Amino acid sequence: MSSQATITPSIAYAIVLVILVVIAAAVAGVARLEISRALVVASIRALVQLAAISLLIVAVLRSWGLTAVFVTSMLTIAAFTSGGRVGRRSPVIALPILGGVVPVLALVLATGTVPRTPTAVVPIAGILIGGAMTATSLAGRRALETLRTRHGEYEAALALGFADRDAALELCRTSAAEALVPALDQTRTVGLVTLPGAFVGVLLGGASPIAAGAAQLLVLVGLLAVEMIAAALTVEFVARGIIKPAQ
């Protein structure tokens, strides 16, 4: 694969990034969405974090011990982020993420579908953890919001003899399905509307289009499984009162 197929930092690259951030912030400001500052801060954080990880990843990929520490740190940050989104930072938020990631990652590694090397494990684990984090955040927020806004229906179900968990699930089940909408849309439209990161990354790395397609398909289907488990566990925990709204 020619070096011309890769994206490399340059003055033009930096200028384009700045222009894109300015466009996003300006549009948010004109639309009065009140997230212009958040967009700028998120972009700066992405720059700093990616610069740091680019330097760190070289050492991480040379050691299984450092790889384990790195993946653990990703899980911790994902749980912390989801907890903030749900409004309840608690170790229990990590359980749906772990429940989704661990069996799927174990399956693809145990069968040899993904090479058992740090170079392969770190990106796959990162993608799966990110998907589980998103599903947990979406399902948790929507389930808690549903119980808050439809509390009268919840109490009516209790009056009809439903157990607490069953009454909550009657209202919150759709939250799990809604949390899967982004992953479902991405899977349905892959190759037609989008060429996701795994496909592009493998292709730019010099692999054949067939290998890139195979890697992307594994990622998409794996994400569906991970996010479904994470969303279902999150809604179950909300229904049981394990995940509660912040006081």
Give CA torsion, residues 74, 80, 86, 88, to 10 deg: 150
Determine the average pLDDT of the residues in 38-56: 89
**% of the chain beyond a pLDDT of 90:** 35
Determine the average pLDDT of the residues in 99-105: 95
Question: For the segment 191-234, what is each residue's pLDDT rounded down to a tens digit?
Answer: 766 666 666 666 666 667 787 778 888 888 999 999 999 999 99
Which pLDDT score, from 0 to 100, does residue 146 have?
85
Q: Are 125 and 57 in contact (CB under 8 A)?
A: no
**Coil, helix or strand at residue 194:** strand
Which pLDDT score, from 0 to 100, does residue 3 have?
47
Q: Are 79 and 212 in contact (CB under 8 A)?
A: no
Q: Are 129 and 78 in contact (CB under 8 A)?
A: yes
Give CA torsion, residues 134, 137, 139, 141, to 10 deg: -150
**% of the chain beyond a pLDDT of 70:** 88
Q: How far apart are CA 124 and CA 108, in angstroms?
A: 10
Give CA torsion, residues 121, 126, 128, 129, to 10 deg: 130
CA atoms within 13 Å, Cβ hemisphere of 215: 24
- Which range of 4-8, 85-89, 118-122, 128-132 scores highest in mean pLDDT? It is 128-132
Question: For the segment 175-195, what is each residue's pLDDT rounded down to a tens digit?
Answer: 778 888 888 888 888 776 666
Q: Are 242 and 83 in contact (CB under 8 A)?
A: no
Determine the average pLDDT of the residues in 106-129: 90
Q: 215 vs 134, which has greater pLDDT?
A: 134
Which pLDDT score, from 0 to 100, does residue 212 have?
76
DSSP secondary-structure letter at 4? G
Q: 5 vs 77, which has greater pLDDT?
A: 77
pLDDT band at 27 (very low <50, low <70, confident <90, very high): very high
Give CA torsion, residues 42, 246, 226, 81, to 10 deg: 20
Q: How far apart are CA 245 and CA 159, in angstroms?
A: 23
